[in-house]
Structure 1
Amino acid sequence: MSDTELATDEPIHVESVEHFKEVVGRDGVVLVDFYADWCGPCKMLEPIVETLAAETDAVAAKVDIDEFQQLASAYQVQSVPNVVFFADGEPKKRVVGMRGEDVLRSVIDELSS
């Protein structure tokens, strides 16, 4: 994967377990949106994740829990939407359920400082 692909203002759709590890292993804050296509609140959260990817220094990644059940299980994702925030490769915070942009942005700000 090229550096330009990693430095994106749009959410990165995880394509494999290895790709996931590469994305969350980056320096800084990585917001991982565990979602499902059948989940209504996940669809409502999508534009918020897109805005945060564009307007913050955090990298946003999306993981389809139906496609990557092993990742969902590894990160104890039992309901969606489920956003896990990584900082320097380690999971630091989790926000479960539909939350406003302000809540997610405050977590990014907290982990970035």
Structure 2
Amino acid sequence: MATDTAADAGTDSPTEPHHVDGEAELDELVAENGVVLTDFYADWCGPCQMLEPIVESLAAETDATVAKVDVDANQALASAYGVRGVPTLVLFADGKQVEEIVGLKGEDQLRALVESYTA
């Protein structure tokens, strides 16, 4: 079974979400990848748990890199992006924040949004 290693950090998007710990790590991920979908979540959040398989599917089936940020462990990072509620998804394209989605959304809607930036 493959594990996340430093070798996975190239320009090919990983097929599993990347758990981010801190602003520097997220900045590096955004700088190294064309499109990054960042899921700001909390373990105790019901809608976040419902969103998790959708986010995993997007990581596996789209060209976007998917990052997950635990807002309880990364409060400063969540605050830096103005996250006030979870789940919040922040989409980056070419190093810039281009979208912010608050709340639970369907897989088709999120896939279309991601693919509009990866096409």
Give the TM-score normalised by structure 2. Answer: 0.88
- 2:8 aligned partner: 4
- Deviations for 1:8-35, whole angstroms, at most 9, x for unmatched residues? 1000000232211111222311000000
Q: CA deviation at 1:5?
A: 3.9
Q: Does structure 1 residue 78 correspond to structure 2 residue 72?
A: no
- 2:49 aligned partner: 43
Runs (5+) with no aligned partner, structure 1: none
Is the 2:35–2:91 Cα contact (8 Å) retained in structure 1? yes
Is the 1:26–1:88 Cα contact (8 Å) retained in structure 2? no
Aligned residues: percent identity?
53
- 1:108 aligned partner: 114
- The CA distance in 2 between the partners of 1:61 and 1:37, in whole Å, is 15
Higher deviation after alignment, 1-10 or 36-45? 1-10
- The CA distance in 1 between the partners of 2:105 and 2:27, in whole Å, is 25
- The CA distance in 2 between the partners of 1:95 and 1:49, in whole Å, is 13
- Output the amino acid matched with 1:105: R
Q: CA deviation at 1:79?
A: 0.5
- 1:59 aligned partner: 65
- Deviations for 1:26-59, whole angstroms, at most 9, x for unmatched residues? 2311000000111000000000000000000000
Give the TM-score normalised by structure 1. Answer: 0.93
- The CA distance in 2 between the partners of 1:101 and 1:64, in whole Å, is 21
- 1:89 aligned partner: 95
Is the 2:22–2:77 Cα contact (8 Å) retained in structure 1? no
Runs (5+) with no aligned partner, structure 2: none
Runs of 4+ in 1 over 2 A off after TM superposition: none
- Deviations for 1:79-99, whole angstroms, at most 9, x for unmatched residues? 110000000111100111000
